[in-house]
Amino acid sequence: MSESAAKVKGAPPVEVHDLTVSYQNKPVLWDVDFELPEGKLIAVVGPNGAGKSTLIKTIMGLIDPVSGHSLIYGRPLEQMRKKIAYVPQRETVDWNFPVSVFDVVLMGRYAHLSLFKRPKKHDKELAMEALEKVGMAEFADRQISQLSGGQQQRVFLARALAQDAEIYFMDEPFAGVDASTEDHILLLLKELRNHGRTVVVVHHDLQTVSGYFDWVMLLNLRLVALGPMETTFTKENLQKAYGGRLNILSQVIELSRKEDFIREPGHE
Amino acid sequence: MSELFTDFFLLQDPNVRWVLAGTILLGLSAGALGCFAVLRERALVGDAVAHAVLPGVCLAFIFTGDKDPLALLIGSVIFGWISLVVMDFIIRNSKISADTSIGMVLSVFFGLGVVLLTYIQSSGNVNQSGLDAFLFGNAASMLPEDVMLFGFVSLMVLVVIIAMYKELKLVSFDSSYAKVIGYPLKRMEFLIATLLVVTITAGLQAVGVVLMASMLIIPAAAARYWTDSLRVMLFVAAFVGGISAISGSFVSYAAPSMPTGPWMVVSAAFIFTLSFFFAPARGETRKWIKRLNQKQKIRRENILKTLYGLNEADGKEEKVRTLQEIIKKRRMEKKTLKRGLSELEKSGMIEHYRGRPDGFVLTETGRVEARRIVRLHRLWELYLTEKLEIAGDHVHDDAESMEHVITPEIEAQLLKILENPESDPHDEKIPY
């Protein structure tokens, strides 16, 4: 397990430099470069296949980029693992797996436990607290297959909360959940933000972006715009992000794909 | 037979002691480790690796000219590893699908092993007798030093599983999350694969390469039927593996011409079958009984409702209703109707008058229950038409199935939002 290093003073929670990612010669992110501010609720928005999930997965080290790199509080990811929590899409795990709701939430504490160490009473208390926060305490002993979609999402959120991180990456936490879960999740995100945490959320619903978030990143293969909601979430920027693929760039990419020009990413 | 039984279990024969110790340890570790293979959907990979170690065993024999267990262990671990690397390489670097890649590696490596085995057997080395036992195992030929080495390996596998339970659990459930929080995922995968290879190798002499994968897969698959907890599943799978080892060894002791390994597999499969049907947590029989109970309940409720409807139509609550009358009102098979009626009679909902006419009358409890069912049906119809704005002539069939499901809590909610209504969309009175 990686040791946790101190933050570099004044460094942003996330900075990404010249990041290019491709899947089997198909580029999904092209030369993306940005810094994220601390203590904001940030939406990552863009059309299907724009590379939203790929971006956060690459920052978290789940995908190796073709080129470029990212830093967490000014340091390489490996030194800052404990500061990052991840809420993946629900479909990424097998919900028939023989574990209870409490077991899954307790996994959030594993980030702070070294190898071979069993969770302590303190960890269990924090896990239970996280479950209470998402309103699922009474489901603690349930097997996870008995949960509805919204409940599954709450469990994943509770796991991230139990981890008590500084930066939260969430992949479509609002997808396919009921209205009351959506309200509940939003409330928790705002609470995290109010405690100075940085929350980066891949979001699908353009209707709610400006109401839910402080900052927005518009993404479509490349970074279209990033900034505070009022100045960035504009018609013009949306058109740039959603109005068809960028012509010359996509042509060049198409060409390079034919020529087998783009290297495969290194494998995990 | 009973004499054989006591002889076997009193462990008088030192050979029995060794064989039993070796196979039980193997059963325990393969069962427990198999849980992770099964849950990570890597069961087939286990089978491929088991087959793929054969050339390693043969080469070890060719190089040493002997059946030294340590050499065999090293040879098979190396080839188990090579097979994993090759499978992984094919999947990552070609468009060939995972199952094709696994299938190819399994058969090609196994084929190579059989070629080497044939070469050894034709070479005239006196030590080679019994080497073909690696195909299907030959537990009885295991020497104490074999058991000590392979038993030790099994024991180590168990120790690692216990020590790294937390890590194995997380990596099996959600490997991406494990990586994000800083788990050395590559090293963990390497460890799991190594455990798999050494467990398979430990089972070579007892069970053989062809059948070894079943000792990994079947106990785990059986255990899943008994529990929803990974911890319990590991214990149950290990237990199933151990029991299979004991019964396989016993069969082969009682009938020396019978092989231990295949009988271990047969025993495990037998336990799996029992689990599949009868495990209380997730077994099929339980589901089946539940469905049957539900069906019977629906049938009884429909009959009560029909009797209520007949009474409501002519206002004669005490009148005896014949079979014909009931069937006329609600079409159903006579046999099912009779069965339902006798169930209702037993539970005191109706009385059977065996006179003229021969028929049935609702008792007081039956009337209360019938009112409840009709009430739920009509409340639901009203809810659908009033709150969901579905046309009145469309709601009957929807209400038909829901009345059997609605709980008292939902009924209370319905009454509240409908404000204790008097009649349903068809102007029929809602009975309270």
Residue B391 lies in a domain: yes
Q: Tell me: do B21 and B48 sit in the same domain.
A: yes
> Is residue A7 scored above 90 in pLDDT?
no
Question: Which domain covers residue B156, as residue numbers?
Answer: 13-214
Q: Tell me: do B82 and B167 sit in the same domain.
A: yes
Q: What are phi and psi of B277, to 5 degrees?
A: -90, -40
pLDDT at res. B280: 85
Select, from the ranges A254-263, B35-44, B200-209, B309-318, the one with the highest average predicted confidence (pLDDT): B35-44
Q: Distance from B284 to chain A by nearest Cα, in Å?
A: 17
**Per-residue confidence band for B167, with pLDDT thresholds at 50, 70 and 90:** very high
Angle at B427 between CA B425 and CA B432, to 5 degrees: 95
Chain mean position to CA A181: 19
Q: Tell me: do B51 and B170 sit in the same domain.
A: yes
How far apart CA B308 and CA B310 sit, in angstroms, is 5
Instruction: Residue B337: name the closest of B326, B348, B352 by CA.
Output: B326
Contact A1 B183 (CB under 8 A): yes
Residue B264 lies in a domain: no
- Residue B146 contacts by C-beta under 8 Å, 6 or more apart in sequence? B22, B69, B205
Q: Distance from A157 to chain B by nearest Cα, in Å?
A: 12
Residue B56 lies in a domain: yes
pLDDT in tens, B34-79: 999 999 988 899 999 999 999 998 999 888 887 788 888 899 999 9
Interface mutation target, options B41, B228, B235, B236, chain A, most CBs of A under 10 Å:
B228
Residue B189 lies in a domain: yes
Q: Distance from B97 to chain A by nearest Cα, in Å?
A: 15
pLDDT at res. A2: 43
Which of A88, A117, A118 has the CB atom closest to B177's CB atom? Answer: A88
Q: Tell me: do B52 and B194 sit in the same domain.
A: yes
pLDDT at res. B166: 94
Residue B164 lies in a domain: yes
| Range name among A224-228, B19-23, B264-268 with the lowest pLDDT average | B19-23
pLDDT at res. A50: 87
pLDDT at res. A1: 43
| Cβ of residue A100 closer than 8 Å to a chain B Cβ | yes
Instruction: Report the amino acid identity of residue B47.
Output: D
> Is residue B193 scored above 80 in pLDDT?
yes
Taking contacts as CB-CB distances below 8 angstroms, the residues of chain B near A98 are: 39, 224, 227-230, 233
Place of tokens 């069937």: B327
Taking contacts as CB-CB distances below 8 angstroms, the residues of chain A near B173 are: 93-94, 97, 99, 104, 107
β-pairing verdict for A75-76 and A167-171: unpaired
Tell me the CB-side half-sphere exposure of residue B355, using CA atoms within 13 A: 5
| Cβ of residue A2 closer than 8 Å to a chain B Cβ | yes
Mean pLDDT of the region A34-53: 92
Q: Tell me: do B89 and B190 sit in the same domain.
A: yes
Q: Distance from B187 to chain A by nearest Cα, in Å?
A: 11
pLDDT above 90: percentage of residues in chain B: 41
Pair of tokens at residue B23: 């196979």
Mean pLDDT of the region A73-77: 92
Domain holding B313: CATH number?
A: 1.10.10
pLDDT at res. B69: 83
Chain mean position to CA A42: 10
Which of A82, A97, A163 has the CB atom closest to B173's CB atom? Answer: A97
Residue B236 lies in a domain: no
Residue B425 lies in a domain: no
Judge contact between A169 and A178, C-beta under 8 A: no
pLDDT at res. A268: 37
pLDDT at res. B161: 95
Strand-pair partners of A26: A23
How far apart CA A93 and CA B4 sit, in angstroms, is 50
Q: Tell me: do B348 and B375 sit in the same domain.
A: no
pLDDT in tens, A180-203: 889 999 999 999 999 999 999 999
Residue at which a domain ends, from B328, B345, B362: B362
Which of B177, B182, B227 has the CB atom closest to A2's CB atom? Answer: B182
How far apart CA B390 and CA B384 sit, in angstroms, is 6
Q: Tell me: do B312 and B201 sit in the same domain.
A: no
pLDDT in tens, B307-344: 999 998 888 888 888 888 888 888 888 888 989 999 99
Please give the model's pTM, rounded to 2 decimal places: 0.81
Q: Tell me: do B321 and B372 sit in the same domain.
A: no
Interface mutation target, options A59, A99, A264, chain B, most CBs of B under 10 Å:
A99
Mean pLDDT of the region B122-132: 67
> Is residue A236 scored above 90 in pLDDT?
no
Domain holding B407: CATH number?
A: 1.10.60
pLDDT above 70: percentage of residues in chain B: 97
Q: Tell me: do B51 and B154 sit in the same domain.
A: yes
Pair of tokens at residue B108: 């090609």
What is the total count of domains within chain B?
A: 3
Contact B174 A92 (CB under 8 A): yes
Residue B240 lies in a domain: no
Contact B229 A98 (CB under 8 A): yes
> Is residue A205 scored above 60 in pLDDT?
yes
| Range name among B237-241, B272-276, B328-332 with the lowest pLDDT average | B328-332
Residue at which a domain ends, from B214, B241, B261: B214
Q: Tell me: do B29 and B111 sit in the same domain.
A: yes
- Residue A155 contacts by C-beta under 8 Å, 6 or more apart in sequence? A101, A104, A105, A131, A134, A136, A139, A144, A147
Q: Distance from A235 to chain B by nearest Cα, in Å?
A: 35
> Is residue A5 scored above 90 in pLDDT?
no
Contact B229 A116 (CB under 8 A): no
Can you list the domains of chain A with their CATH numbers? 14-258 (3.40.50.300)
Instruction: Residue A67: name the closest of A20, A103, A104, A117 by CA.
Output: A20
Contact B164 A116 (CB under 8 A): yes
How far apart CA A147 and CA B24 sit, in angstroms, is 38
**Per-residue confidence band for A168, with pLDDT thresholds at 50, 70 and 90:** very high
Taking contacts as CB-CB distances below 8 angstroms, the residues of chain A near B170 are: 107, 110
> Is residue A117 scored above 50 in pLDDT?
yes
> Is residue B266 scored above 90 in pLDDT?
yes
pLDDT in tens, B131-148: 667 888 888 778 888 888
User: Which residue pairs from B330-334 have beta carbons closer than 8 angstroms and sit at least 24 positions apart in sequence?
Assistant: B330/B302, B330/B303, B330/B305, B330/B306, B332/B299, B332/B302
Contact A94 B39 (CB under 8 A): yes
Q: Of residues B156 and B92, which shows the higher confidence score?
A: B156
Beta sheet of A14-23, edge-to-edge order: A26-36, A14-23, A67-72, A75-76
Which of A88, A98, A111 has the CB atom closest to B181's CB atom? Answer: A111
Q: Tell me: do B385 and B354 sit in the same domain.
A: no
Instruction: Residue B320: name the closest of B361, B348, B350, B356 by CA.
Output: B361
Sign of CA dihedral A254, A255, A259, A265: negative
Chain mean position to CA A188: 15
What's the 3-state SS for chain A? Answer: CCCCCCCCCCCCCEEEEEEEEEECCEEEEEEEEEEECCCCEEEEECCCCCCHHHHHHHHCCCCCCCEEEEEECCEEHHHCHHHEEEECCHHHCCCCCCCEHHHHHHHHHHHHCCCCCCCCHHHHHHHHHHHHHCCCHHHCCCEHHHCCHHHHHHHHHHHHHHHCCCEEEEECCCCCCCHHHHHHHHHHHHHHHHCCCEEEEECCCHHHHHHHCCEEEEEECEEEEEEEHHHHCCHHHHHHHHCCCCHHHHHHHHHHHHCCCCCCCCCC
How many beta-carbon pairs below 8 A join chains A and B? 85
| Cβ of residue A89 closer than 8 Å to a chain B Cβ | no
How far apart CA B113 and CA B105 sit, in angstroms, is 12
Q: Tell me: do B24 and B157 sit in the same domain.
A: yes
Q: Tell me if ipTM is over 0.90.
A: no
pLDDT in tens, B278-297: 988 788 888 899 889 988 98
Which of A100, A111, A143 has the CB atom closest to B182's CB atom? Answer: A111
Judge contact between A104 and B203, C-beta under 8 A: no
| Cβ of residue A139 closer than 8 Å to a chain B Cβ | no
pLDDT above 90: percentage of residues in chain A: 65
pLDDT in tens, B245-255: 999 999 988 88
Interface mutation target, options B180, B227, B230, chain A, most CBs of A under 10 Å:
B180
Residue at which a domain ends, from B155, B189, B214: B214
Domain holding B29: CATH number?
A: 1.10.3470.10
How far apart CA B35 and CA A260 sit, in angstroms, is 42
- Residue B111 contacts by C-beta under 8 Å, 6 or more apart in sequence? none
How far apart CA A254 and CA A262 sit, in angstroms, is 10
Q: Of residues A259 and B58, which shows the higher confidence score?
A: B58
Taking contacts as CB-CB distances below 8 angstroms, the residues of chain B near A107 are: 169-170, 173-174, 177
Q: Distance from A222 to chain B by nearest Cα, in Å?
A: 24
- Residue B55 contacts by C-beta under 8 Å, 6 or more apart in sequence? B79, B109, B112, B113, B116
Q: What is the DSSP letter of B227?
A: -
pLDDT at res. B173: 95
